[in-house]
Each structure stands twice: as C-alpha cells, then as structure tokens.
Chain A
C-alpha cells in the first residue's frame, strides 16, 4: 500500500515537473540597430499622426513599421509620444510592441530619442512573447511626412 502510494506520488510529481518545464519561460537578449523613415501622407493616409517604415539589423533583423498612438508637445519643444511598433524578422516571425518615448529637441526638427517598447506578443517563435526593449537614438529632419530615426536597441524577449 505504501509502495503504491509512493509510486503514485512520484508519478504526480513527475507530471507536474514535466508540465512546469514545458511552460517555463526562456528569455533571450536582443540588440541591434534600426533606421526608420517617416512615410509621406499618401503612404499612410489613415494614420493621423503618421507612420514609419524601417529596416532592422541585429537580433530582430528584418522590417519594422510603427504609428504614433499619441503625441504631446511640451512648452520647451520636447515631445512625449506613445507608439505601436511591429517587427517582421527575416525568419518570418512577427513581434508586437507598445512604446513610450521622449523626444528631446536639439534644434528644430532634430531630436534625441529614448524609447521603451513593451512586448505584447507576436507570431511564430514570438507567439506569447513578453519583455521589453529600450532604444536610444536620434530623429533627423523630423516633420509631418518626412524625416528619419536612427536608433540602437537593446532588451530582452521572453518566450514560452
């Protein structure tokens, strides 16, 4: 009786341990660079605050697009923006993020940019992904429908 109980307990513990291993989260560092171009109005007429299209190098190598979900101008010329960014890697996986950025004005149309992207899932190997990515960079000649952002990114993507 005691032996049977021990065997059953071991089996249950084994199953729980297996399940726990199966659903364990794995976190990987990501880093690299991206270049984003602000699209002209004709290429994103339905995005009132504009949209960017960019190329990504490094861990997330591939393409990215993003739109501003809010934009708040401060008296000193700085901007606080929230964003919705998507990455499509060369491998064919998508990564979805929501961002919050401070654009510090250097001179008119030129900004120092600090952006934090919270990962909210993806497709393929990024399905259910969490984590965050911080970017540091600059915005050059930024205006409605034109300009460019050059950014370095670093963060962690966690997947199950």
Chain B
C-alpha cells in the first residue's frame, strides 16, 4: 500500500515539470514598413541595415542587416538576413532569414522571405517557429528605399 503511494507521488512529481514545460504555439500576423538606412547610419554593415515599424502581433520596431547578397543575371536577388524585433511590450525576437527578391523594374522588387525564429528575450526567450513575409521593395538602392511586407507565422514558446 505504502509502495503504491510512493509510486503515485513519484509519478505526480515527474508529471508536474512536464506540464510546466508545455510548448505553446501562437499564430501571428501583421505588417512591416522597413526603411533602408543611409550609409552614415550603419557604416559598419557592409550590405546596409534597415529600421522599420511593425504592426500587428509583433507591434513595435525592427532592424535587420543582410548577411549575404547574391544577384542573379536576370536581376533577381537572393539574400540572407538577420532580424531583431523589439515589441511595445518590451520583448525581443531574433530571426535568421532568407529571401528572394524578384525584379519588377530597376530598383523595384517583389519580396518573398522566410524568417526562422532563433530565440529572444522576455516571453520570447525560448521562442522557435517561423514567419513568412510577402511584400514589395520600392526604390531599392544602397542607403535608400523601402520594403512594405505582410507577415504571417507561428511562434512557439515554453510555458
């Protein structure tokens, strides 16, 4: 009888941490308005940096820099990037992204980007998941231009 009680107690103790470590995934969506900063505002980022405003689930601000820039002969561009979001709530979210920019006309692109979540701070400290963005790049050139994107994805955190 006592042995049964111990087993039940032990199982209860094991079950509690498992429940505490539950993974919760949330759908997110919204819009990004990103501006390419002039060289003087990001002099050490070789491919430049953007600063933007975020609406929707990640409402707040975003900055990003390109980690690779590969133009194709047809004018399209493949890039990889590193984004950081700071929400109005005070949480940060970090991502690693890859994007294809399809040339519409010189300086104008259709953008398809996937951001893989690589952690964060505050409620996003354990975050994983991914975010898909579709949008346009207008008047894109070194140190000038704007990206307007719609985002949709899933963030998973441990609770």
Question: Looking at the complex, which of B9-17, B83-91, B97-105, B108-116 is the stretch in contact with chain A?
Answer: B83-91
Residue of A nearest to B146 (CB): A92
A97-130 Cβ-contact flags toward B at 8 Å (1 or 0): 0000000000000000000000000010000000
Question: Looking at the complex, which of A5-13, A16-24, A37-45, A152-160 is the stretch in contact with chain B?
Answer: A37-45
Min Cβ gap A153→B in Å is 16
B94 contacts the other chain (CB 8 A) = yes
Min Cβ gap A131→B in Å is 18
Q: Which of B33, B45, B51, B53 contacts A86 (CB 8 A)?
A: B51
A47-B44, A62-B53, A92-B33 given; A42·B61 CB < 8 A: no
Beta-carbon contact of A37 and B52 below 8 Å = no
How many A residues touch the partner, as a band? 20 to 34
Task: Please name all residues of chain B whose beta carbon is closer than 8 Å to the beta carbon of A92 when the two chains form the complex.
Answer: 33, 35, 146
Q: Which of A37, A53, A96, A148 contacts B41 (CB 8 A)?
A: A96
Task: Please name all residues of chain B whose beta carbon is closer than 8 Å to the beta carbon of A146 when the two chains form the complex.
Answer: 121
A82 contacts the other chain (CB 8 A) = no
A133 contacts the other chain (CB 8 A) = no
Task: Please name all residues of chain B whose beta carbon is closer than 8 Å to the beta carbon of A136 when the two chains form the complex.
Answer: none
A46-B65, A84-B40 given; A63·B53 CB < 8 A: yes
Number of interface residues of B (CB under 8 A): 29
Beta-carbon contact of B86 and A54 below 8 Å = yes
Beta-carbon contact of A90 and B44 below 8 Å = no
Q: Which residues from chain B sit less than 8 Å from chain A, CB to CB?
A: 33, 35, 37-38, 40-42, 44-46, 49, 51-54, 60-63, 65, 82, 84, 86, 88, 90, 92, 94, 121, 146
Nearest 7 A-B pairs (CB), nearest first?
A63-B61, A46-B44, A43-B84, A86-B41, A53-B86, A65-B51, A53-B63
Given A53-B61, A63-B60, 13 more A-B residue pairs with CB atoms under 8 Å apart are: A35-B86, A46-B45, A47-B44, A51-B63, A53-B86, A55-B61, A63-B53, A84-B41, A88-B51, A88-B52, A96-B40, A96-B41, A123-B35
- List, sorted by A's number, 27 A–B pairs whose CB atoms are closer than 8 Å: A37-B90, A37-B92, A37-B121, A39-B63, A42-B82, A43-B63, A43-B82, A46-B65, A47-B44, A47-B45, A53-B61, A53-B63, A55-B88, A63-B60, A63-B61, A65-B41, A65-B49, A65-B63, A84-B40, A84-B41, A88-B52, A88-B53, A94-B37, A96-B38, A123-B35, A146-B121, A148-B90
Q: Which residues from chain A sit less than 8 Å from chain B, CB to CB?
A: 35, 37, 39-40, 42-44, 46-48, 51, 53-55, 62-65, 67, 84, 86, 88, 90, 92, 94, 96, 123, 146, 148
